[in-house]
Structure 1
Amino acid sequence: MHDFFTRNGLLGSARLQCWRFAESLYPSSALVEAPSQGHCSYTLLLREHDSIIQFRPPRHRLDLVITAAARAALGDLVPDTQLLGTIHFPCASSDARQQHNTNDNNNSSSSKDDNDNDRCLLVYSLSLIRGTPLPALLHSLFPNPPPALPPLAEDTPTPTPTLTLTPTPPIPTWTRTSTLSPPPTFTLNPPLTPTETQALTLTPLLRALAHRYFAPAFRAALPATSPRLPALKRRVGRSLRARLALLREGLPARFGPVVREVQGALACIAGVAEVAGVPGGAGGAGGAGEEVVGGDGGDGGGGDSLPWAVTHGDLVGAGVGNVMVEMDRCSGGAKGGSHHDGDGGGVWRWSSTQRATDCCAGVVRLTGLVDWAEGEYLPFGVGLYGLEELLGRMVPVAGTGRRRFEYYPCAERLRAAFWEELEAAVPELVEDAVLRARVEKARLLGLLLWYGIAFDDGALNRVVRPGRDDEELQKLDLFLLGKDHDRDADAAAEAEEDAGRDSDSDSGCFFLDEEDAQTDDKVGAQRPWPAPGKL
């Protein structure tokens, strides 16, 4: 937690000032530090009020317009958010400035001074989302396997095989399940395999995300032609064109076909306003007086593009650490029926032929989505970038000091459960083939944006690079191309190709020009994309 203050260039006394500020607002309440602190904020728990007080630097502010829209669409899955004020600090390198506190009890997310001076913290009150970050719970349930061995070099001698005696598996037990006679019936009840346990544990979470997050976001989405949308676009939504151009130029060549495919489909994904040059609005961080309560209703894909839905911009942060969950144990003994995840959605169904022991497994229940600092209105389907990360985990690679993403053995069962639930909640995805195809293109766009653009503490303006962002590139390979890439096999070829590119720095990194991004919509008509077949 002390690293948070150091990262933001604050003196050691800043933490004490945060406490004093919180105590001045709630003098009779007990404050404790949250056991799990985020990278972009410092959080205190206010137990008596079932809320938290959170301190954020201006670059990681919460947009109150977006958080209000998310809560209107998704209910208590999203914390109620209010701005309490701003604390100003002297710089860590100088004590010259006078420190002062200001209470700013209005609905503006920030002021001009906050943008110009990063030596301050915005103070928010958020309703408490109970539970545990998903990565912490999964690590306790499914510890990482031993590190995977790197592939053997061609000149490495083959190890001498050794004889290993495997214990005989236990003899399955027969359990009588009927008292009727004659004749009695029996079912075989062997123990659950690790893959079955994992699938039964995680399936309710995937169903809940489909039912409680994606489906309501679709229903509350704004048509791409809505007059309200231009003012609601934010940093990423205003610069889709510029970001795709940057990715096309800066990503390794093997991703080029996917980038070009998405570029060619951008009109169907984002709408005429994004491609034909209609201004997408100034956006900004959201100002006082704006109201976003729900949406005008998605166009169902029947229009020229997808509707724009409120989207969590960092669902996979810290390995899906912004997904809050609890572990539930359901009672056994039932032979059929359904188990609700306890929060109004995400139904886990099993058939009457499933084993009775199956329903005794613990299940992961969704309690909320936190950290909406990167939340935006984006074309529906872009947010599906987060689904892949929920289907696996990072594992170490032995002898390399590296990590790689690996799908769970039950990943396809989990994926099928997610889509089954989403299609039941949004039947248009089944009835309208055009809509489904557009959503798939939007999913590819989301993967490119969230793994192809480096986070860099919120800068979001640099294309990921081999040697610097290898984990992100490995995920892009797996999520977009369906396989791991041997990063050493063609390193020389890619280095030669990169040397011929124009870059903004000697390091070969490709950065987004913020001025170009701001005017992305306005110049769209002057830079039409060629037809997909001619790219």
Structure 2
Amino acid sequence: MTTQPRDSGVSVSSFFTRCRLPIDAREKCDAFVTARFPGLQTRPAPFQGYCSYTLFVGDAAIVQFRPVEYSINVDIVREACAIFGCLVPEVKLLGIMPDDDNNNNNNNKLHVYHMRRLTGLSLTDFRESTRCQTEVVKAYRRQTVRDFARFHCQAWRHARTKDQVSPKGTVGSSLRWRLEMMASSLPERFQRLVTRLLPVLPDIEGLPWTLSHGDFLPSNILVSPRTGQTSGLLDWAEAEWLPFGVGMYGLEELLGEVQHGQFVYYPEADELAFLFWNEIQSQTHELRRKPRQLRAVREAQLFGVLLWHAIAFDDGRLNRVVEDGTDDGEIQRLDAFLLNYKLAPKTGISRFSLPSFLLSTLPSRGK
């Protein structure tokens, strides 16, 4: 089994071009790191993100350059470290480039961050390295889903009330606006699920608010190549406090994967979903005693799927819904997540289309 990360396929040069940075920007970034960490070997990370340029520095550190509009809230990451411990890389702001006080062009400025380098292999690479080991792979998938549930249970233990979260983040401060925008503009086949959420939005916002990762993708999840256990979560730039359950949109990423350009659920996806909700209930006793609150959590998960896949990214603007023919990748995910998931072979229905009172009973059903 390989433990070497693959190249992400994201061109480093495209980051600098996309951000309209000067032609010598990458050279200056490299020089900054060399001067700041003399004697340590530096090299571009094999998995480059859309919003940053990342360098490995020695064996234990990472330096990342991000435009102002994609900057990291260091205070939020500090809270994440306090809640989730070693799953989160500590982040420190090293400075801003260029640091010339006479340069007032924020479009050319890059925030520079120092991060602890976490161990493990990205879930993307891990899946590639275990494709032919069927029974082992199923055990690894169960482990990842169980770890994701425990991650949310840990967040639950550090929850706040809605009023205690101030100021709220980009998503948390605009939940109703985003839901109403989706209700008026999403393709018609998704409308029934969206309109179902409008009357229960007060129940969702009334849930405990917990710290959500904000970009839960296989490339941001690190796992141990030996055990499959989650060893870290990368890229906390989109993290913010949200109603408990909204961040569970990421469960869908663990129930299947992209094959030949299309998201496909695993054959045991329903078993994995039951495992997740059983774990949530076993560690959050309050939810077991309050069926209405558990229903709100399930509705919040549906809301999270819509927030992350029905709103177009558009370089971070997040101000329009996805459209057929324009945002086909996200549309295909919505079709898979919301319409085509087969809860059980004989039902042939989406688990998100089930009535709320039935949703709360799903975790108690065994396989």
TM range (shorter): 0.7 to 0.9
Select the residue among 65, 81, 91 that pairs with 1:71: 81
SS of 1:54's equivalent in the other structure is strand
**2:25 aligns to what?**
14
- Listed one character per residue, the Cα deviations across residues 293-352 of structure 1 (whole Å, up to 9, x for unaligned) are xxxxxxxxxxxx201111011112xxx211111211xxxxxxxxxxxxxxxxxxxxxxxx
Contact 2:144 2:254 in 1 (8 A): no
In structure 1, C-alpha distance between the alignment counterparts of 2:36 and 2:267, rounded to whole Å: 50
Give the distance between the partners of 2:28 and 2:63, measured in 1 at CA. Answer: 13
1:405 corresponds to: 263
**How far did 1:421 drift?**
2.3
1:107 aligned residue? none
Looking at structure 1, the residues matched to 318 and 121 of structure 2 have their Cα atoms a distance apart, in angstroms, of 27
In structure 2, the partner of 1:306 is 207
- The Cα shift of 1:380 comes to 0.6
Distance in 2, Cα, partners of 1:225 & 1:7: 38
Query: Aligned-pair distance for 1:77?
Result: 0.6
* Partner AA of 1:135 in structure 2: T
- Could you tell me how far apart the structure 1 residues matched to 2:123 and 2:28 are? 31
* Distance 1:17-1:64 versus aligned 2 partners, 3 A rule: same
Question: For 1:400-439, what aligned pairs fall within 5 Å after superposition?
Answer: 403-439=261-297
Deviation at 1:269, TM superposition (A): 0.8
Change beyond 3 A, Cα 1:101–1:390 = farther
Is the CA contact (8 Å cut-off) linking 2:16 and 2:26 kept in structure 1? yes
Kept in 2: contact 1:199–1:413 (CA 8 A): no
1:380 aligns with 2:262: no
Equivalent residues of 2:54, 2:62 under 8 A apart: yes
For 2:154 and 2:178, locate their aligned partners in 1 and report how far apart those are by CA, in whole Å.
28
Q: 1:199 aligns with which of 124, 132, 138?
A: 138
Q: Deviations over 1:194-228 (max 9, x none)?
A: 3x4432121111111211x21111111111232xx
Q: Which residue of 2 aligns with 1:26?
A: 37
Alignment match, 1:364? 228
Provide the residue aligned with 1:236 in structure 2. Answer: 171
Give the distance between the partners of 1:200 and 1:241, measured in 2 at CA.
Answer: 39
* Deviation, structure 1 residue 483: 5.0
Q: Any conservation in 2 of the 1:453–1:461 contact (CA below 8 Å)?
A: yes
Task: Supply the distance in 1 between the matched residues of 2:100 and 2:166 (Cα, whole angstroms).
Answer: 34
2:195 to 260, 266, 270: 260
CA contact (8 A) 1:382 1:442 kept: yes
Mapped contact 2:145–2:275 kept (Cα < 8 A): yes
C-alpha distance in structure 2 between counterparts of 1:240 and 1:198, whole Å: 37
The residue identity in structure 2 corresponding to 1:2 is: S
Write the deviation string for residues 34-54 of structure 1: whole angstroms up to 9, x where unpaired: 222222111111225x22111
Work out which structure has the larger RCO, using CA pairs closer than 8 Å and 6 or more positions apart in sequence: 1
Q: Report the aligned-residue RMSD.
A: 1.9
Q: CA deviation at 1:409?
A: 0.9
After TM superposition, the structure 1 = structure 2 runs for residues 140-151 of structure 1, keeping only pairs within 5 Å, are 140-142=129-131
Which of these residues, 226, 248, 251, is aligned with residue 183 of structure 2? 248
**Following the alignment from structure 1 to structure 2, what is the Cα–Cα distance between the partners of residues 435 and 44?**
44
2 CA distance for matches of 1:313 and 1:69?
Answer: 14
For 2:148, the equivalent position in structure 1 comes to 209
Which residue of structure 1 lines up, in the alignment, with residue 91 of structure 2? 81
Per-residue deviation at 1:420? 2.5
The aligned counterpart of 2:160 is 222
Q: Tell me the SS of whatever aligns to 1:246.
A: helix
Residue 419 of structure 1: SS of its match in structure 2? helix
**C-alpha distance in structure 1 between counterparts of 2:43 and 2:187, whole Å:** 47
Q: Which digits, 9 at most, give the CA deviation of each residue in 1:8-37, with x for residues without a partner?
A: 112332111111111222223332222222
Q: Shift in Å at residue 101 of structure 1?
A: 5.4
Q: How does 1:431-450 map to 2 (within 5 A)?
A: 431-450=289-308
Residue 43 (structure 1) aligns with: 54
The corresponding residue for 2:221 is 323
CA contact (8 A) 2:265 2:341 kept: no
Tell me if structure 2 keeps the 8 A contact 1:134–1:322.
yes
Instruction: Give, in whole Å, the separation in 1 of the partners of 2:58 and 2:285.
Output: 41
Displacement of 1:419: 2.2
| Greater fraction helix | 2
Picking from 229, 244, 259, the partner of 1:395 is 259
Give 3-state SS (helix, strand or coil) of 2:23's partner. coil
Which secondary structure state, in structure 2, belongs to the residue aligned with residue 309 of structure 1?
A: strand
Cα displacement (A) at 1:253: 1.5
Count of aligned pairs between the two proteins: 330
For the residue of structure 2 that corresponds to 1:423, the secondary structure is: helix
Radius of gyration: which is bigger? 1
Residue deviations 1:117-145 (CA, integer Å, cap 9, x gap): 211110001111112221122123227xx
Shift of 1:425: 2.0
Q: State the shift of 1:481 in Å.
A: 2.8
**TM-fit CA distance, 1:238:** 0.7
Amino acid at match of 1:220: H
Matching of residues 166-205 of structure 1 within 5 Å: 194=134, 196-205=135-144
1:224-276: CA deviation from partner (whole Å, max 9, x where unpaired): 232xx132x11111111111111011101121121111111111111xxxxxx
Q: Which amino acid aligns with 2:119?
A: R
2:325 aligned partner: 467
- Please give the secondary structure, in 2, of the residue aligned with 1:129: coil
Distance 1:483 1:423, change over 3 A: closer
Deviates more, 1:23-32 or 1:436-445: 23-32
Query: Per-residue CA shift, 1:92-127, capped at 9, x if unaligned?
Result: xxxxxxxx558xxxxxxxxxx98x621111000111
Instruction: Tell me if 1:127 matches 2:116.
Output: yes
Q: Percent identity?
A: 39
